[in-house]
Amino acid sequence: MDGIAPDVYAKQKSNAQLMAMQSIDSLIDANYRPYDQIVDIGCGDGDITKHFLGKHLPHKHILAIDIVPDMISYARSHNHSDDNTIEYLLQDMSIEWPELCPRVRELDGKVDLIFSNFTLSYMPDKWRTVGIFRRLLSTGGIFHANIFIIGDLNKKLVTNGQQPGKWYQSREKQLDDWRQSLLSDNQFLVKQFDIIDVIWPTDRQKMIDFMPIIVSKVRPFFKDDQSAYDRELNDHLWDTAFDTVVNPMATEPNPGAWKRFLADPTIREVNRHHRLLRVTAIKQ
């Protein structure tokens, strides 16, 4: 949850809670076995971990992981588990297996469920991420996630003479990467690979609060090219990201879309358009 404070994020999560509860209902309906070990990737402030995973799925232990220090601190202080079944851990899960902390690596082959809600779009290398999940899961273990598929920024990009598409992935490429990474060595049985299009009305202040998250989602595509990312931020990335989310069907760029929104206080609400991938896969 880069770029947003935990207390602000807490006011934004109703849509995330809805999607998480739908996922948990589907796991319950599938009659999967009770879980000795659950890992929640991208737990944020810990609310979904405690009140959704913790209360609705039978478990012995949940390891809740996030990359943002403020989120983990908030989760530990506000959403700790009274029965000590939930543990919060600061960890970047996009790195190579040997670089992960010992606490994660000691779960090699012991995890019954890996759950993630709206965070895996941050992972630039899907094959590496899926490989780590495969290694963590026990035989019969489940990987279930709701994943934002980032809008086609290339179609909205004001290039200023530069070649578009140098950094951004299309939606088709993102979906294909997830599909191929899960099917690459036949160790996963993919039970669900559903595309969900949603429209979420969002009031003005929540849109202003949420924009840093939207912008941060494209950061991994720049890899180590910080100067390119900074240049995009300064030139048009906020306008492009905003236009992609609120007006995805337009075929022409809308330069200054975010700036005009900020300058016009009469705009009290916008519709956010998102494409989500819901995936369930079982390690064979």
- pLDDT tens profile 152-174: 776 666 554 444 445 567 888 88
Strand order in the sheet with 86-90: 86-90, 59-66, 35-41, 111-117, 137-149, 269-283, 188-203
Greater pLDDT, 197 or 217: 197
**Structural domain boundaries in the chain:** 6-155+167-199+273-283, 201-270
Give mean pLDDT, residues 7-35.
84
Strand partners, 274: 198
The residue type of 177 is D
Rounded to two decimals, the pTM is 0.88
Between the CA atoms of 140, 75, 47 and 107, what dihedral angle is there, to the nearest 10 degrees?
0
For CA atoms 13, 15, 18, 21, give the dihedral sign: negative
The residue type of 153 is L
Among the CATH numbers 2.20.28.270, 3.40.50.300, 3.30.1360.30, 3.40.50.150, which is that of 6-155+167-199+273-283?
Answer: 3.40.50.150
Q: Which pLDDT score, from 0 to 100, does residue 250 have?
A: 78
- pLDDT tens profile 103-138: 999 999 999 999 999 989 878 788 999 999 999 999
